[in-house]
Amino acid sequence: MTDKVKLTITINKNLLAIVKERVKSKGLSLSRIIENFLEFYVNPYVYCFKCGEKFFVDKAEVCPKCGWLKCVNCGACRCELDDETAAAVFHMRRVYEDLLMGRIK
């Protein structure tokens, strides 16, 4: 008994060739990678910059003062960072926003 379904998608031909090669060399499957990403897409998570705990974005509150997510575990947000550290964290988070094609929350 499986709950898997077939999915037909359309992507760039050259990209697909490169992806297939990469996936094969890592012993993974394209289905596995797509499913992994889609799970992240619907339920994204981050690691706290302070305590290192992983938390799901949906469970986290946005700090009304700084607009960042507050860590579910320790409550840390941008308010406790100096400008230089905040900039570093901010730019690293942009990877997520590029992947998710929008803001995390």
Q: How far is CA 74 from CA 25, 48, 98, 105, in A?
A: 40, 8, 26, 19
Least separation in angstroms between residue 14's CB and Zn ion is: 41
Closer residue to Zn ion (CB): 31 or 85: 85
Closer residue to Zn ion (CB): 41 or 47: 47
Q: Which residues contact 4 (CB under 8 A, 6 or more apart)?
A: 31
Q: Does 69 bind Zn ion (CB under 5 A)?
A: no
- Count the residues of the shown chain that bind Zn ion, applying the rule CB under 5 A: 12
Task: Kindly state the tokens that stand for 81.
Answer: 């960072």
Q: How far is CA 47 from the centre of its chain?
A: 10
- CA dihedral angle for residue 98, residue 63, residue 86, residue 71, rounded to 10 degrees: -80
**Which of these segments, 8-16, 21-29, 59-67, 81-89, binds Zn ion (CB under 5 A)?**
59-67
Least separation in angstroms between residue 69's CB and Zn ion is: 9
3-state secondary structure of 88: helix
Q: Does 65 bind Zn ion (CB under 5 A)?
A: yes
Least separation in angstroms between residue 71's CB and Zn ion is: 3
Contact positions vs Zn ion (CB under 5 A): 48, 50-51, 63, 65-66, 71, 73-74, 76-77, 79
